Structure 1
């Protein structure tokens, strides 16, 4: 009998025992969440999780909203969790009591396995310390230095696309180009490293690998929840040994992607350290001329006190996190904006005219003018409202809590509930998309894409709700101490890319179906059966070019 088979049998026995004990305990106990309304459980073993994480789960998420701003969802083996988009409750979860509503162990372990000990896999004081070191390099003043780098990259993209369509319009995989561009933007602006010259139509292997990560990981979220004991077996070296021998295609693909990101991050870190040792001249010769986020962070780290200095493992974790998170969310948001503009040609032309007017002699729009363009801002806000790249996040209570509500909900027994007792170790889903589309806040047209809603004062229902997001009364970039640290970086990327592309090209719907898949970060495919992340639009030169 091999060591692997012994470990597998041991894990299976442990799992079976855990499931039996957990199931029996849930069958004979009742809790304070029993009176909270919500959808019926689809299965005792998996509850509603298969519906929640299904690629086509949009309808089920809409159904959850019909049960009210706080509802009960069934998890594994009779467990109950909360789905929340009530603004007052969200404020407690992400701001007031954010260190009581912590990231779930599964989320932390998966991110630690994939990216290392970066911002997505640390808690409490450790997380606060990391953000303390990182916050200055994401300050708005530093973003001004990024704009020339972003324009230079985007002009390369523009040139490549012109060569694609100079003889007439073509159906182009816009996601492929936006992924390559977003990778180069975070590469040069974030890490001071160039990944892609953007000079041909040959897919970039590294960009293609990163683009495949979400489709690879999405089917495994339910599997990991069903097998929580797997990520707890022994030290990292033992888990690594087991993972390398698991005959699961997606697991092996995810392992290879994690190894690729780690290898790339180590090479970049070594290169930047060497330049810093050699002096200012060597730093200025590098991509980004030492103004990229990682160069600034490394210099600050060198002069930090021993207690504040970040170890190499965390620096590498941050680099891998930047590579994936910044590329995936920005490329997805850009593609969703182009998708909306292709579906709404009148709005596309209106935005184009605003951009052309701001481009003096056809040149790049300076930072202050670019970020102040009202219709560009409205289009970005409205798309990020209706189509948030990340649709929901989970937290777990560290102690018994009482969740306050903006307005009462009706319990399953008919009584009115003004606050919800939440036991320790309860999973709470933050309904990012649900809050952004809540008709009670945004009005009866909340499910419609209307950039014009941002060109006049927002209704009192939204301004007085005090949604705890860091951006435009939205939960898109979250809020509190775990809000997206790079949201201003992402906003600038999107606006630079859109200003250059829309002044040059016209985007129309293609003959290929576009289907957006529900996942940790939503992604498009051609139809519902394809597993490949891609999105085709018809692209042509605009008459102004």
Structure 2
């Protein structure tokens, strides 16, 4: 591994022999993501507007800052609290679906599929006041469920074109010319992505127009919708109506956020949820301890649904979520590209090719920087010698001074899982709430174990996903676990 042989910072050779910087040095990351974040834009951002419109992931500079300013209040704690009834409604549907399938005894179920469906329905109802899935059928019926599931693999098949051909084409051709060329090019994968993106955009416009009509009819019409006016889109539209003219977002920008939110949140959340469930099967004592905590909390509140504050205040549930996101971040790295010459300082000196110790590195314009989220979260010099162990208990006592004093730029718990700086994950609190609501319901009501004849392996292909080793379906993401009803008190 790079980290073992070269430490937290190294120069590596990328595609076509181009020099790149690899780092998980806290000071370097802070410089790249926070202090001089404007000089380091996301790598290959050019395809973003073509895929998702001019949403938060696809914009830079002033337009990005303007969008983030509008969206920050949407993800406030107050709004997270107001979404609890929506979240509880979706997880109740999930509980009913699983209960129906295991009420006559334990059964093997692909929980990755159910976690993906749940994540999509959560962002659908709480994000846009829209339902994608009845959470009853064995497979989702809504076309969007199929499209969003197939989009990432389809984009992977176009990686070379997206990363190397498209940036060159955009420099010399207008968008309408690119669209014409795309339509006449006999390339099925390209046409598949085009059709998926067009469908996602059309549905986003449809949802937006329905919401817009409801607003024009008055508050009563908005409340009658699925989100009852408390979904993210409703809140965003209200904020936009109140904003000063210079801060208002265009309709196209609001519409673009829908596909952006779903694409950014669905696979990462379902990956995180699935990882927790898999780990709980490998550590049944943790599963039992978490269940005891949840049952005790429910008993303390006379069997009623836990409120936002009660749920997020459960220490062991919180520890399991944090430790999983530390050791097994769904995304292992992120890429940045310098827009001009830059000097990056280091907290830990490295030696150059001549053996000289250096405390800063010069990066020419257009240098690609790979930030290792995985190794930043697994640095033994910061977390201690047990850094590779999955130990939820580490979060129940003070963290090591080294990590507390490291000035790690991550927006969440001294971790890089949700990025840092002005492009950190704006919805990380939303994601945390999703995970806790879903895991709390699952562990309280069901018991999970690993099938004896199947070995589960996690592959990194952009977003970590589980597969079953061996057999004719290796490489197909799935998480088959034995599910049974948890025994009551």
**With structure 2 as the length reference, what TM-score do the two structures score?**
0.94
Q: Is the 8 A contact 2:133 2:140 kept in 1?
A: no
Indicate the residue corresponding to 1:498 in structure 2.
439
Q: Give matches, 1:186-197, under 5 Å.
A: 186-197=123-134
| Alignment partner, residue 127 of structure 1 | 64
Alignment counterpart, residue 533 of structure 1, candidates 463, 477, 480: 477
Q: Which residue of structure 2 lines up, in the alignment, with residue 234 of structure 1?
A: 173
Match of 1:33 in 2: none
Question: Partners of 2:21 and 2:215 in 1: how far apart?
Answer: 49
* Equivalence for 1:19: none
C-alpha contact (below 8 Å) 1:355/1:503 kept by paired residues: yes
Alpha-carbon distance in structure 2 between the residues aligned to 1:516 and 1:215: 16
CA offset at residue 151 of structure 1?
0.6
* Structure 1 position 79, deviation (Å): 1.1
Matching residue within 212, 234, 245 for 2:150: 212
Using the size of structure 1 for normalisation, the TM-score is: 0.85
Deviation at 1:232, TM superposition (A): 4.3
Q: CA deviation at 1:442?
A: 1.4
- 1:110-125 paired onto structure 2 within 5 Å: 110-125=47-62
Does residue 161 (structure 1) correspond to residue 103 (structure 2)? The answer is no
Aligned pair partner of 2:419 in 474, 478, 490: 478
- 2:213 is matched with 274
- Corresponding residue for residue 262 of structure 1: 201
Find the residue that maps to 2:461 and give its secondary structure. Answer: coil
For the Cα contact (< 8 Å) 2:24–2:372, is it kept in 1?
A: yes
Provide closer, same or farther for how the CA distance between residues 445 and 183 of structure 1 changes in structure 2, counting only shifts above 3 A: same
User: Structure 2 vs 1, CA of residues 148 and 527 (structure 1 numbering), >3 Å: closer, same or farther?
Assistant: same
Q: CA deviation at 1:201?
A: 1.6
- Asked whether 1:520 is paired with 2:462, we answer yes
Q: How does 1:16-415 map to 2 (within 5 A)?
A: 62-104=1-43, 106=44, 108-204=45-141, 205-227=143-165, 228-232=167-171, 234-360=173-299, 361-415=302-356
Q: State the 1:238 CA deviation.
A: 2.1
Check 1:219–1:531 CA distance in 2 against 1; reply closer, same or farther (3 A cut).
farther
C-alpha spacing 1:152/1:325, structure 2 compared with 1 (3 Å): same
**d(CA) in 2 for partners of 1:535, 1:210:** 19
The superposition leaves residues 303-337 of structure 1 with CA deviations (integer Å, 9 ceiling, x where unpaired) of 32222111121111111101221212111111111
SS of 1:477's equivalent? strand
Structure 1 window deviating more from structure 2 (234-243 vs 470-479): it is 234-243
Map Cα deviations across residues 51-100 of structure 1 (whole Å, 9 max, x no partner). xxxxxxxxxxx345531111112123221010110001111111111101
- Judge conservation of contact 1:176–1:203 (CA < 8 Å) in 2: no
Report the Cα distance in structure 2 between the residues aligned to 1:223 and 1:294, rounded to whole angstroms. Answer: 33
CA drift at 1:445: 2.0
CA distance in 2, matches of 1:524, 1:290: 36
Cα 1:242–1:156, aligned 2, differ >3 Å: closer, same or farther?
same
Matched length: 482
1:356/1:245 CA distance change after superposition, 3 Å: farther
What is the rounded CA distance, in whole Å, between the counterparts of 2:303 and 2:439 in structure 1? Answer: 14
1:429 matched to 2:366: no
Unaligned 5+ runs, structure 1 = 1-61
Do the aligned partners of residues 514 and 241 (structure 1) sit closer, same or farther apart at CA in structure 2, a change above 3 Å counting?
A: farther
For the residues of structure 1 that align with 2:31 and 2:136, how far apart are their CA atoms?
48
> What 5-or-longer segments of structure 2 have no aligned partner?
none
Could you tell me how far apart the structure 2 residues matched to 1:348 and 1:425 are? 47
CA shift for structure 1 position 223: 4.6
Q: Distance in 2 between matches of 1:327 and 1:137?
A: 18
Alignment partner of 1:452 out of 393, 399, 409: 393
Deviation readout 1:403-429 (Å, 9 max, x if unpaired): 111121122322111111111111111
Q: Return 390-399 or 505-514, whichever deviates more.
A: 505-514
The structure in which a higher percent of residues are strand is 2
How far 1:168 moved relative to its partner?
Answer: 1.3
Q: Which moved more, 1:79-88 or 1:446-455?
A: 446-455
Q: CA deviation at 1:115?
A: 0.9
